[in-house]
Amino acid sequence: MIFDQLSPVQKNVLIASIIGDGEITKRYTRSRRKNHSYREHYGRGQEAYRQWKASFFPDLLYLTPKSQTLRSRSHPLFTELYPYFYDEQGQKRIPLSLLPVCTSPHFLAVLYMDDGSLCITRSINHREKKIYLAPHIYLYLQNYPLEQLNHLQQHIEKQFGFSFLPYRRRDGHGYILRFTATRDTYAFLQFIEPVTRTCPSMLYKTNWPWRLAVES
């Protein structure tokens, strides 16, 4: 497999990216392309993050700023990976057989920076005239059925020791993953910090002291 020739970090970044914001675009009948390709749209504010991602694949991924897309040319790697990430109807799915490869902090860091959010709960103590801010992490993966999210949650807990819980939503398949305890959020951010410190454009998600200062 071409995938086996990637480094462990490249495998973890790529799998998390395809689970998250990325997609594998198919080679259609009568197309001049020989293989599938990769595509990931982004907003202007996240161009630096996509440049950071592309730096892991200098010979594979590149940015087209005009269309705000991180992409690849047609490549046999993505033809190879397509059936792991899509069912026969073309619906995206968690690549269960590839999860054992996902053992690096890069996997959690990219999955979080793609589809996660650092949400803030606020409470007011009027007697003491204080406002308390507490961080909670959510992974907005509602485009996957609960059964698949459970497999992902179990892998993360077994491999990394973090226990996400399903949380109901009205959109998608009805569920996302989240932490309920702030101590889990602190531990998670600390765990991925060696990776996320190299991507300063995502400070608002990954650096709680910085975010706390902004919110305060």
Place of tokens 């990954």: 206
Instruction: For residues 2 and 119, give the distance between their C-alpha atoms in angstroms, rounded to a whole number.
Output: 38
The DSSP 8-state label assigned to residue 26 in this structure reads P
Q: Which two tokens stand for residue 13?
A: 């970044």
Does the pLDDT value for residue 151 go beyond 90?
Answer: yes
Encode pLDDT of 5-42 as tens digits: 999 999 999 999 999 999 999 887 677 788 999 999 99
Kindly state the tokens that stand for 206: 């990954």
On the question of pLDDT at 52 being above 80, the answer is: yes
Predicted model pTM: 0.94
Which regions of the chain does DSSP assign to beta strands (E)? 23-25, 37-41, 61-64, 69-72, 116-125, 130-139, 165-168, 175-178
CA 179 to chain centre: 16
Whether 179 has a pLDDT exceeding 80, the answer reads yes
Q: What is the pLDDT of residues 60-94, one digit of tens each?
A: 999 999 999 999 999 999 999 999 999 999 999 99
Average pLDDT on 82-109 reads 97
Instruction: Determine what percent of the chain is predicted with pLDDT higher than 90.
Output: 88
CB burial of residue 162 (10 Å; 0-12, 13-18, 19+)? middle
Confidence (pLDDT) at 27: 80
Q: Which pLDDT belongs to residue 44? A: 85
pLDDT score of 132 more than 80: yes
